[in-house]
Amino acid sequence: MTQITPTRLSDGRELIYFDATKEAAALHADPAAVADQRGLPPRGGTGDVRYDPLTGEWTAVAAHRQTRTHLPPADQCPLCPSTADNLSEIPASDYEVVVFENRFSSFGPALGELPDLQPANTGWGTTTSAFGRCEVVAFDSAHEGSFGSLPPERARTVIDAWAQRTEALSAMKGIRQVFPFENRGADIGVTLLHPHGQIYAYPFVTPRAALMGRAARRYFDAVDGRETLLGSVLKSERDSGERMVLEGKHFSAYVPFAARWPVEVHLVPHRHVPDIAALTHGEKDELTTLYLDLLARVDGMYSTPTPYIAAWHQAPLVPELREAGYLHLQLTSPRRAEDKLKFLAGSEAAMGAFINDTTPEQVAATLRAATFAGKETA
């Protein structure tokens, strides 16, 4: 049973320890052991979002993020446990899993509702507060690694943290979507080597989620709610087997038929659930095992660790999209060969029309044949 211990940093940001062992929980229950000694000034105000009338989308303006920490040396890592020489973002001398509000947040700390723009209003010039919340999830106290390098017991605690934070953030005023993710590798733009991920709680449904949500809703309505779109796709992929990578009792992983990225794998629960918080204990246990297996296979494709984005797609917190929404992971990598990356150029970046340089069937075959050998390089 994961023990949850909340506290506050010296600038008022929330920090939460997630501990699976009694020893760690006891340490973090001592107020003196988790007190932030830095005496930080009060955190800055909330940034802005601007409305783009040509697309109907919101863009966050977060110029303060230009000063965020970039690849610091190990003895100055802000995610390592605090020492006398390095008072970090995590005050305790050790920890298992920690979640805290991002010091360089794109959204929040203020919460609220975005304006409801009417169709007859272009929305030109509309600027409002970037309501929401951005959190950092430190997976482990070790300085280097990723989710795939975690021992199973630590990975399981991270999943508990994702579930708890999804439930808590979903209940906050104005939140429309909760998005846990991990960026892995310099080629993705990672600025900290410490194993970590993030959770964004948006005040709007993001463009990608809205597109997928509308497609799911159309299908759901067309079949009178008898099944979900993703559930039907999952069944088709399992029946075919051509692009399957892993199959368990509760989850399956496959390379999608119309994959956009050179490496793209979807990890999907067999049961229709909206988010990680809705998973049962047994489902979380199997997710731990299969996810670590999948990441090891992705690393096993080449002789060096594979850069990736691990994106947890959870159902938006909007009734018309949530009913048909279906939790799943989309893991993507721009790596199209050992020494080559897929860059988003004219067609992809400007038009959103992806051209894949690999075949989903061959990638699936490679992943099925891959072993855990890559795990040691994570």
Q: Does position 376 have pLDDT exceeding 80, yes or no?
A: no
List, edge to edge, every strand of the sheet that includes 127-129: 57-61, 48-52, 127-129
Q: Does position 375 have pLDDT exceeding 50, yes or no?
A: no
Q: What does 105-121 look like in DSSP terms, one character per residue?
A: -SS-SS--------TT-
Q: Does position 378 have pLDDT exceeding 60, yes or no?
A: no
Mean pLDDT of all residues belonging to the chain: 95
- Hey, what amino acid is at 286? E
Tell me the residue length of the chain: 378
The stretch 344-354 carries a mean pLDDT of 96
Q: Considering the candidates 64, 70, 196, 270, report the single residue annotated as catalytic.
A: 196
Give 373's pLDDT tier (boundaries 50, 70, 90): very low
Does 80 count as an annotated binding residue?
Answer: yes
Q: Does position 281 have pLDDT exceeding 60, yes or no?
A: yes
pLDDT score of 374:
42
Does 134 count as an annotated binding residue?
Answer: no
Domains and CATH numbers, the chain: 3-204 (3.30.428.10), 224-377 (3.30.428.10)
pLDDT tens per residue, range 179-233: 999 999 989 989 899 999 999 999 999 999 999 999 999 999 999 999 999 999 9
pLDDT score of 63:
80
Dist CA 294 CA 330 (whole Å): 12
313 is catalytic: no
List, edge to edge, every strand of the sheet that includes 328-333: 3-8, 14-19, 97-101, 133-138, 196-202, 177-184, 308-313, 328-333, 263-269, 251-254, 244-247
The stretch 307-312 carries a mean pLDDT of 98
Does 194 count as an annotated binding residue?
Answer: yes
The stretch 75-98 carries a mean pLDDT of 97
Give 62's pLDDT tier (boundaries 50, 70, 90): confident
Give percent of the chain with pLDDT exceeding 70.
Answer: 98
Tokens at residue 66, please? 């230009």
Tokens at residue 355, please? 């051209």
